[in-house]
Amino acid sequence: MNNPLLRLYRSKIYAAIVMLVLLLCVGVLGYMFVSGYTFVDALYMTVITVTTVGFAEVNPLDTPSKVFTIFLILASVVIVGYAISIITEYILSRSNFEDIKQRKMQKKIDAMSNHIIICGFGRNGKQAAKKLLAYKKPFVIIERDKEIIERFQDDDIPFVCGNANEDETLYEAGIEKANTLISALPSDADNLFVVLSARQINKKMTIISRASQETSYNKLKLAGANNVILPDRIGGDHMASLVVIPDLIEFIDNLGIVGERNINVEEVKVEQLYDTKVVKTIRELDLRKKTGCSVIGFKDENGEYLVNPEAETKLVPGSKIIVLGRPEQIHKLNSEYDIG
């Protein structure tokens, strides 16, 4: 925990512990030299004096021993009281800080809309989060392992601690206002349950699920997943493609490198490019001249894709274009049309 207040309390606790140890050492050495006790007897006398338990002395105390005991009692009252107050304050402050931090995080999540929910922060979840961060997409992560949350929470990533299978947890992540859910849990059964629950709550959102077994593919689709990804199959196909068409695959990989300065492909809604009351064509839009980006794909209002569309393709409302360009050209496109 990197909170300055908690670090301050920890330093005070360490100081209190050092003071208690010094108090015990002074007590033991004092009784050994002043009263002539053995080490064990001196330790016994120091402990019962500091803790004020009231057991009998080892031997009747003479005047110097009584004076030393008085000072030891007064010192122990101050030091032990200080140590107890600091430890108690630390425990209460830590609890309060966690509550405040959680409420602040929940308030941030409640203010979000059209965001992405990632269920599970394992290998696939982390990769998805990394890509979304590169594209500056708002997202919330649902993870039930508190250690993982504490490890990555310093990155200012919104986390919800809980089980994604529970509707209450999904509501905390703002599922009613989210536009996409990525279920990246390691178990296909858990992913299936999440997809079913999410689809019942939000029927319009896009749901993408991970699957380990090919037999789970159809089940997840029937449950309501728009897309089902099998990482093992994709990995195997990718490795085989590197053998068959290595240069092409390397080129495609470079198009999708994660990093703000290396975003070379962008998907854009036509409504972000012009007023669709009067339909324009790709030629009339002339993105190549204005930004340097090339239109390499078109998705119509029915979801049908067209690769390398003709210049006369009409950019009807509800359709999207896929553009290719160097990072500076993509940046110019986003600036020219104020695409967030």
Question: What's the whole-model pTM score?
Answer: 0.62
- 172 in Cβ contact with 109 (< 8 Å): yes
Provide long-range contacts, Cβ within 8 A and 24+ apart, for 136-143: 136/260, 136/340, 138/112, 138/114, 139/115, 140/109, 140/112, 140/115, 140/116, 140/173, 140/174, 140/178, 141/117, 142/117, 142/118, 142/169, 142/170, 142/173
CATH number of the CATH domain containing 11? 1.10.287.70
Measured distance CA(190)–CA(16) in Å, rounded: 48
Q: Are residues 103 and 129 in the same domain?
A: no
Position with higher pLDDT, 160 vs 236:
160
Domain edge (last residue) among 108, 125, 146: 108
Q: What is the pLDDT of residues 282-303, one digit of tens each?
A: 999 999 999 999 999 999 988 8
Between the alpha carbon of residue 161 and those of residues 72, 148, 152, the distances in Å are: 48, 10, 12
Question: By residue range, what is the domain housing residue 32?
Answer: 4-108
**Is 197 a domain residue?**
yes
What is the reported pLDDT for 100? 67
Where b means 16+ CB within 10 Å and e means fewer, 290-304 reads: ebebebebbbbeeee
What is the reported pLDDT for 1? 44
For residues 291, 292, 297, 301, the Cα torsion angle rounded to the nearest 10 degrees is 10
**Is 255 a domain residue?**
no
Kindly give the residue spans of alpha helices, DSSP state H, lying in the chain.
4-34, 39-51, 63-110, 123-134, 146-152, 167-172, 188-201, 216-223, 231-244, 246-255, 282-285, 287-291, 327-336
Whether 270 has a pLDDT exceeding 60, the answer reads: yes
Measured distance CA(278)–CA(321) in Å, rounded: 17
Work out the average pLDDT over 76-84: 84
Work out the average pLDDT over 92-106: 71
Q: What's the chain's average pLDDT?
A: 85
Provide the number of structural domains found in the chain.
3
Q: How confident is the model at residue 219 (pLDDT cuts 50, 70, 90)?
A: very high
Work out the average pLDDT over 38-45: 87
CATH number of the CATH domain containing 323? 3.30.70.1450
Among the ranges given (141-145, 150-154, 218-222, 309-313), the one the predictor scored with the smallest mean pLDDT: 150-154
Among the ranges given (62-66, 316-320, 331-335), the one the predictor scored with the smallest mean pLDDT: 62-66
- 184 in Cβ contact with 119 (< 8 Å): yes
Q: Are residues 36 and 141 in the same domain?
A: no
**Is 43 a domain residue?**
yes
Domain edge (last residue) among 229, 256, 279: 229
Measured distance CA(271)–CA(289) in Å, rounded: 19
